[in-house]
Structure 1
Amino acid sequence: MVSSKELLPRESLLWIFAAQFVALLPQFTQLPLWVAFAWAFAVYWRLEVFRGRRDLPGRTLRLAVIVLTITGLALSYRHWFALEPMIALLAISFTLKNLELVSRRDAFVSLLLAYFVSATLFVQEQTIPYALYGLLCVWVITAALAAQLGSSSARPRRALGISVRLLAQATPLMVLLFLALPRLGPLWSVPQDTSAGRTGVSDSMAPGDFTELSKSTKPTLRISFDGPIPPPEQRYWRGLVYSEFDGRTWRQGFGVDPHNGGRVYWKTGERLLPQMGPRYRYQVIQEASRSPWLFALAQPASETQGVGETADDRLVKRTPVYSRFAYEVRSWPRETLQAPVSLSNAERRLNLQLPSFGNNRTREWMASLRNQGLSAESVSTQLLAHFNSAFTYTLKPPALGADSVDEFLFASQQGFCEHFAGSYVFAMRAAGIPARVVAGYQGGEWVSGEEYLLVREYDAHAWAEIWFDGRGWQRVDPTAAVAPERVRNGLESAAGEEFLQESFFPLHRIGVLSKLRLKWDMINYRWYQTVVSFDADRQQNYLRRLLGEVSPLRMALLFAVPTLIILLGIGLWIARSANGRKLPPAERLYQRFCQRMARVGVRRRPGEAPQDYARRIASEKPQLADYANAVTAAFEQAAYGGDSSAQKTLRKLLRWHFWLRRTATDSRELVGL
């Protein structure tokens, strides 16, 4: 049995529900809908128990609820041993705790769970708004803990005030631990449910895919350079290579995808790099894509842990990119690398593969060029000239039928980058020239305030590479033959009025809002650089700059000195507060009034009675006479007459100064009030 002292009063119960709601609210958008209904049902049942209309659930009902919960989780998630189902399990356990919420001990356990649930907020996002909401969660949960101290502590103003003071006292220690405590892997670095939707460039390409990406303004890459910056026509951020075509869709194919037979160099030095230095050194911050491929310029190499280089000139990560990920890259110019003498038979077959039927007109045209004995470069020149003759670059290309290449090359002649790249590679292969489609991003917007390149989803692009004996793979961008401004100036310049035409609120057309959006991205970039990506390496570099040498003695001093200062400050504050509490509330309020009058030049004399002090204030500062008389009258009624309403009036007089601002003849009289 629980004693009456341990039972939860109504105010404490409501505070617990408020803390639960704040912690679970962002999760309701990520978790299955039935979890929100389960929480609402548990809260309803517990309120009915408080009102005496129902009893706490018995063992049979609790077992039934557990079985239903496990069944719901099993039906909602394909993979149990992933992060998202574990968060759902924590949330539902947290929810069901309400069905046995009886004592203060139960409340304490529930609120501790609330801290963990609010921490899972950062699994999905680590942005500034999420951080601010996380602080709100901690504030409310701490206030709910303070509300368990008693009925007076449950008042909203009292509980929230206690929470603010506790968090303010904990902030210096939190900052110290953030800077000096050994860094562990973040919660969001563990595997997540891969069944969730992906964003950005996909592992396949069909007509219309990149057109959809052109409608999104979401940032995808932020790139900062250590040294020279590539010109716009060289900003090709390659991420995937499509080598397999089924007549409609391009895919990576066997031997290209690292998870499907493709070779990856995971260790530095495993791949032979040129002796001369790289042309570009840069850091890429990539947004979550739930895919393992990364984006970089041609001929990349990275020493970032968990990043490898593929045989077809790309970077990949061991695990999918579930959250923002930063990696260092070096890129060499292709002319500094020794090109292979020829393709292997397997690579040649892969990059000449075509369906056995379809697009006959294109095949016949390319066969005629091949029979003329033209070189690969001449065939490419004729094909690009055909594009340049009458084709239109558009974000709204017409739909294509079964023979999509023939229809595009000889009928519609309107398309986006995937139409040009796909048809070009098909035609080159039909001419017997190894070719492949490369997908990624092209261009980017330079952010001068923070010196980085911002690449958005609408910068998604597809281009081609063809094989030249003795020179290796060479980039060819068929889109540039039709719309060269797309490469030089970006999609907005090439698409004109079509750019983000379907956007509900076109920020890019409102100069002020566009600049504000860019400023906000700069703030987020700095937030990620200084807080989110503060990993073990950055911490060690910071400590070396601060201490010179990271040794146990210096680390102990780093912890000890701030801790002693903080403890000394808290001790002085407690001592001062204890001395102040010896006086009755009315006396403390009147002391504050005297301190304010002293700041404007009328200090109270030892032993001076309140009425005498008020008369002297009126004599020396006539403009404060009415105010001093009002405060003195309220103080005497509260201190000597026991009038609680007079004490409230006195507190209000000391809190608000609207009357003073209206009546003071010299604004300098109000300094310090």
Structure 2
Amino acid sequence: MASNRDLLPRESLLWIFAAQFVALLPQLSQLPLWIGFAWAFAVYWRLEVFRGRRDLPGRALKLLVIALTVAGLAQTYQRWFALEPMVALLALSFTLKNLELVSRRDAFVSLLLAYFVAATLFVREQSIPYALYGLIATLVITAALAAQLGSFSARPRRALGLSLRLLAQATPLMLLLFVVMPRLGPLWNVPQDTSAGRTGVSDSMAPGDFTRLSKSAKPALRISFDGPIPPPEQRYWRGLVYSEFDGRTWRQGFGVDPRNGGRVYWNSGERPLPQVGPRYRYQVIQEASRSPWLFALARPASDSAGVGETADDRLVKRSPVYSRFAYEVRSWPRDSQVIQSTLSGAERRRNLQLPADGNLRIRDWVERLRRRGLSGEEISSQLLALYNREFTYTLSPPALGRDSVDEFLFDSQKGFCEHFAGSYVFAMRAAGVPARVVAGYQGGEWVSGEEYLLVREYDAHAWAEIWLDGRGWQRVDPTAAVAPERVRDGLESAAGEEFMRDSLLPVHRFDILVKLRLQWDMINYRWYQTVISFDSEKQRDTLQRLVGELSPLRMALFFATPVAVVLFGILLWTRFTGRGRKQPVVERLYAVFCKRMARAGITRRPGEAPRDFAERIALESPPLAEFSGRATDAFERAGYGGDKEALNELRRLLRWRLGLSFRVSARKNRLMGH
């Protein structure tokens, strides 16, 4: 069993555990539950060691714990080289360090690991609340480091005060480095586990999927325009195209999905652009979706790094969007382009595909119209008129069975956008007209304070496109035939009382809450524009505005001048505040004590806590042990507890007993050759 001399004091352990808890807390919702229990057990074991009830684990037990840890990670994660298992491994290393936490060196290693664990907080999210929490975590970890200097420094007020001063002094240097340091690729570009939960529009569409999204008011896109802004009825932000149907679920299918045979043009020059200029230029800031789909108006092109264009007028990213992502877009609406004359055989077959059986009633309905000699456009008009006369737009549609299209069209006649788009495309394909479902977002709320369009999750929408010879792909939104206000004014206007009915706090019903929510979103938008998206291009523009033409000499002066000014200001502040501030009586008395101890041959070390100093006096000069202990106890009670009797006791000790004790101690030291 380790001796008491080897163990860290109680205050140091408590500060270390507090720093670990603060660093791990936001990770516990993402990490497996057993890692949180492992940390709690390691802390319990280490406290038992401190109480003398258990021994520190030996080598065999440590090897067993490591083996169990590796087995747990292998069982939990499907692959090792991804973000989630790497963060979990760091958290476990951080946790297991408690089993060998003995010396101050071990404490420093553990707290340095705490900084890295706290930094992983920004892997998944870089919002303002996370940034504030990161500052709090840094404050606590730095305070824990300060507390390792001794029991005097471990007092909460002193440790936190020292941490605040250190962070305040580091802030100017941090801001300077933020501006001048080269922009490096962020940590969160490493591979992540794509099997984890997703948000936003999915890879497939079944009845009820978009109804689920209608319950979320989370931001999805923020779009700022350089020039004209499309009217509400033209704000269709397309992201996915579904061409394969199995009777209930729509999917992209082979040749459409870029991960499964779909072609992507990664360079803007690969696909010729229209001769006329783009009608819209804009920047999209997309929230994390954990999928590669980007959202833009029809016929988009982007020069942003890692963004490509598909043959069916969509944008995709080389890697999934794990964190907020900004990209520039130019769009050419189809009415400004030369129309493709024919549809390839493979594409025609793909967009006419239907299951071999099922949904017989809609097939018979379409066949009767075709026998009457109606064209594809006329059948489309008949179906849209039917939607308008007999159907109801609702966020609470009834459940559908195997023949979902038939049950929707001829039985329930109540649905959301995916019901209308899916049934319309099925009917048009049955009529021999190539058709496909398009998913994305429609509409958006204009934020005049920052001049951008805010698109939320509940703006998720599905519509249809049909191929007409001589006119190409044409957008048809069957939902607009039932609830035109959905396209013109948004989901809230179309859904009425059903809108966000199940939310805990119906923000949309209170004007003040609506305004506060918009204000908060504007703050987040400005935060992203100013801080998160501060890339190398923005850095270069900022430096050019500050110093003009960039050169090594100017950069050196720009870097050195503020550092020199800050250091000079600190020097002046220290000198003037140090002269003007009167040292407290108890500190002056303790300084007298330290000076006389130095004359006796025992000098207090820099940063040494009073209690640690008293323990060293007892080891090096036993005759002074009782006196130094009483003097230190009186100093601590007077200095931290405000005990006036203790202050008087310290005066008496220094006045009468200290002189005799020091003379005796000094004489003995000289005789012993010290």
- TM-score between both structures, scaled by the size of structure 2: 0.86
Contact 1:586 1:647 in 2 (8 A): no
Local SS of the residue matching 1:238: strand
AA at the equivalent of 1:244? E
Distance in 2 of aligned mates of 1:106 and 1:330? 56
TM-superposed deviation, 1:545? 2.0
1:226 alignment partner in structure 2: 226
Contact 2:280 2:332 in 1 (8 A): yes
Distance in 2 of aligned mates of 1:197 and 1:57? 38
Local SS of the residue matching 2:465: strand
AA at the equivalent of 2:216? S
Distance in 2 of aligned mates of 1:474 and 1:146? 67
Local SS of the residue matching 1:446: strand
2:593 alignment partner in structure 1: none
Shift in alpha-carbon separation, 1:474–1:52, aligned structure 2, 3 A: same
Distance in 2 of aligned mates of 1:488 and 1:380? 22
2:614 alignment partner in structure 1: none
Determine if the alignment matches structure 1 residue 490 to structure 2 residue 481: no
Local SS of the residue matching 1:349: helix
2:444 alignment partner in structure 1: 444
Deviations 1:317-369 (A, max 9, x none): 00001111111111112122222111000000000000111112211222233
Distance in 1 of aligned mates of 2:438 and 2:290? 20
Deviations 1:138-168 (A, max 9, x none): 1011111111112211111111111011001
1:419 alignment partner in structure 2: 419
2:664 alignment partner in structure 1: none
Contact 2:586 2:639 in 1 (8 A): no
1:377 alignment partner in structure 2: 377
Deviations 1:84-118 (A, max 9, x none): 11000000000110111111111111111110000
2:584 alignment partner in structure 1: 585
Deviations 1:234-283 (A, max 9, x none): 01010000000111111000000000000001012111101221111111
1:572 alignment partner in structure 2: 572
Local SS of the residue matching 1:450: coil
TM-superposed deviation, 1:5? 7.5
Distance in 1 of aligned mates of 2:286 and 2:139? 32
TM-superposed deviation, 1:370? 2.7
Determine if the alignment matches structure 1 residue 308 to structure 2 residue 287: no
Shift in alpha-carbon separation, 1:528–1:644, aligned structure 2, 3 A: same
Local SS of the residue matching 2:569: helix
Distance in 2 of aligned mates of 1:580 and 1:69? 58
2:617 alignment partner in structure 1: none
2:104 alignment partner in structure 1: 104
Local SS of the residue matching 2:14: helix
2:199 alignment partner in structure 1: 199
Contact 1:507 1:513 in 2 (8 A): yes
TM-superposed deviation, 1:17? 0.9
TM-superposed deviation, 1:518? 1.4
Local SS of the residue matching 2:524: helix
Matches within 5 A, 1:441-590: 441-576=441-576, 579=579, 584-586=583-585
Contact 2:2 2:56 in 1 (8 A): no
TM-superposed deviation, 1:8? 2.1
2:58 alignment partner in structure 1: 58
TM-superposed deviation, 1:30? 0.9
Contact 1:580 1:588 in 2 (8 A): no
TM-superposed deviation, 1:314? 0.3
Contact 1:480 1:486 in 2 (8 A): yes
Local SS of the residue matching 2:224: strand
Deviations 1:285-319 (A, max 9, x none): 11111000001111111111000000000000000
TM-superposed deviation, 1:377? 2.1
AA at the equivalent of 1:481? A
Local SS of the residue matching 1:152: coil
1:113 alignment partner in structure 2: 113
AA at the equivalent of 1:552? P
Contact 2:388 2:482 in 1 (8 A): yes
AA at the equivalent of 1:264? V
- Report the more deviating stretch, 517-526 or 358-367: 358-367
1:607 alignment partner in structure 2: none
Distance in 1 of aligned mates of 2:418 and 2:482? 13
Distance in 1 of aligned mates of 2:29 and 2:524? 23
TM-superposed deviation, 1:210? 0.8
Distance in 2 of aligned mates of 1:263 and 1:500? 39
Distance in 2 of aligned mates of 1:430 and 1:314? 26
Contact 2:83 2:192 in 1 (8 A): yes
TM-superposed deviation, 1:64? 0.6
1:653 alignment partner in structure 2: none
- Report the more deviating stretch, 252-261 or 357-366: 357-366
Distance in 2 of aligned mates of 1:550 and 1:365? 72
Local SS of the residue matching 2:475: strand
Contact 1:6 1:104 in 2 (8 A): no
TM-superposed deviation, 1:586? 4.0
1:344 alignment partner in structure 2: 344
Shift in alpha-carbon separation, 1:444–1:40, aligned structure 2, 3 A: same
2:141 alignment partner in structure 1: 141
Distance in 1 of aligned mates of 2:637 and 2:156? 24
Deviations 1:400-423 (A, max 9, x none): 222221222222211111111001
Local SS of the residue matching 1:513: helix
Matches within 5 A, 1:236-255: 236-255=236-255
Distance in 1 of aligned mates of 2:450 and 2:435? 39
Distance in 2 of aligned mates of 1:355 and 1:645? 85
Contact 1:433 1:467 in 2 (8 A): yes
Distance in 1 of aligned mates of 2:190 and 2:205? 29
Local SS of the residue matching 1:259: helix
1:23 alignment partner in structure 2: 23
| Root-mean-square deviation over aligned CA pairs | 2.2
Contact 2:376 2:433 in 1 (8 A): yes
Distance in 2 of aligned mates of 1:644 and 1:259? 72
Give the number of equivalent residue pairs.
598
Deviations 1:35-77 (A, max 9, x none): 1111111111111111111111000100010011001111111
Contact 1:299 1:313 in 2 (8 A): yes
Deviations 1:6-29 (A, max 9, x none): 752221111111111111111111
Distance in 1 of aligned mates of 2:639 and 2:446? 63
AA at the equivalent of 1:348? R
**Off by >6 Å, runs of 4+ in structure 1:** 1-6
Contact 2:255 2:263 in 1 (8 A): yes
Distance in 2 of aligned mates of 1:169 and 1:242? 56
Distance in 2 of aligned mates of 1:456 and 1:567? 47
Distance in 1 of aligned mates of 2:317 and 2:49? 53
TM-superposed deviation, 1:3? 10
Determine if the alignment matches structure 1 residue 368 to structure 2 residue 392: no
Deviations 1:429-455 (A, max 9, x none): 000000000000101111111111111
- Report the more deviating stretch, 532-541 or 130-139: 532-541
- TM-score between both structures, scaled by the size of structure 1: 0.86
1:88 alignment partner in structure 2: 88
1:628 alignment partner in structure 2: none
1:277 alignment partner in structure 2: 277
Distance in 1 of aligned mates of 2:186 and 2:639? 53
Shift in alpha-carbon separation, 1:385–1:564, aligned structure 2, 3 A: same
Distance in 2 of aligned mates of 1:104 and 1:327? 48
Local SS of the residue matching 2:296: coil
Contact 1:280 1:330 in 2 (8 A): yes
Contact 1:370 1:432 in 2 (8 A): no
TM-superposed deviation, 1:569? 2.1
Local SS of the residue matching 1:497: helix
Local SS of the residue matching 2:153: helix
Matches within 5 A, 1:388-407: 388-407=388-407
AA at the equivalent of 1:111? L
TM-superposed deviation, 1:578? 5.5
1:69 alignment partner in structure 2: 69
Distance in 2 of aligned mates of 1:587 and 1:152? 14
